[in-house]
A and B are shown apart, each in its own frame.
Chain A
Amino acid sequence: EPEVTQTPSHQVTQMGQEVILRCVPISNHLYFYWYRQILGQKVEFLVSFYNNEISEKSEIFDDQFSVERPDGSNFTLKIRSTKLEDSAMYFCASSETRGNYGYTFGSGTRLTVV
């Protein structure tokens, strides 16, 4: 069964450092997403991406965040200057079609900011 792959599974970084979280969506999917889940809290939408541009973003996705599809397979989330409160599980997801269908999530990257 096709999977969304995320690397690394766990990343530790110092406050103020830049991090890049990487995702390989399912190959025929066209829509890509990032969600995050702070420990003990609900899953929260960050951003959706289609046709090489952001289509929706939440209030959480401020100027410190950016996304990129640098090639035909990777989808990345960059946090420019990490804060302690950025510590969370970050999930990438992808979907084949636009519209309200479910997506496939990756297993997540645990980001720990120290």
Chain B
Amino acid sequence: GESVGLHLPTLSVQEGDNSIINCAYSNSASDYFIWYKQESGKGPQFIIDIRSNMDKRQGQRVTVLLNKTVKHLSLQIAATQPGDSAVYFCAENYHNYGQNFVFGPGTRLSVLP
């Protein structure tokens, strides 16, 4: 399969543990954020989004936290499973109703059995 992000920061977690992946975004005017998951050989897959008027949003097993003061996003994955192994990207949008997302550098999550 495709190997993306050979030099990415890597987070290794035990199966069943919780994972926290962090992202610093660049533009204080950004008002919409998405976490994407990219498995080997595939395109980015939407996980969860959050708007700048919120500081927390929960999905199924995932939670995104937004700290606008320090321009920081985190993705929490509860009870991490082997299928969660992938590269995770945060993406920000800073043109209101614009189309251009700026992606972060990515973090590789490796789930250990």
Contact = CB atoms under 8 A, between A and B. Distances in A.
Interface of A: 4, 31, 33, 37, 39-45, 48, 50, 55-56, 58, 89, 91, 93, 98-108, 110
A89 B4 contact: yes
Given A43-B103, A103-B46, 18 more contacts: A4-B43, A40-B4, A40-B6, A41-B105, A42-B103, A42-B105, A43-B44, A43-B91, A44-B103, A50-B99, A55-B99, A56-B99, A89-B2, A89-B4, A98-B99, A100-B96, A100-B97, A104-B46
B5 interface: yes
B103 A39 contact: no
Interface string B74-113: 0000000000000001010101111111111110000000
A113 to B, nearest CB: 17
Interface of B: 2-8, 31-32, 34, 36, 41-46, 49, 89, 91, 93, 95-106
A58 B2 contact: no
A41 B44 CA distance: 14
A2 B7 CA distance: 32
Contacts of A110: 2
Interface class of chain B by DSSP: loop
A80 B32 CA distance: 34
A31 B95 CA distance: 16
A58 B103 CA distance: 13
A91 to B, nearest CB: 5
Nearest to B6: A40
Nearest to B31: A100
A102 B33 CA distance: 9
A4 B103 CA distance: 20
Nearest to B34: A102
Contacts of B96: 100
B22 to A, nearest CB: 15
A9 to B, nearest CB: 9
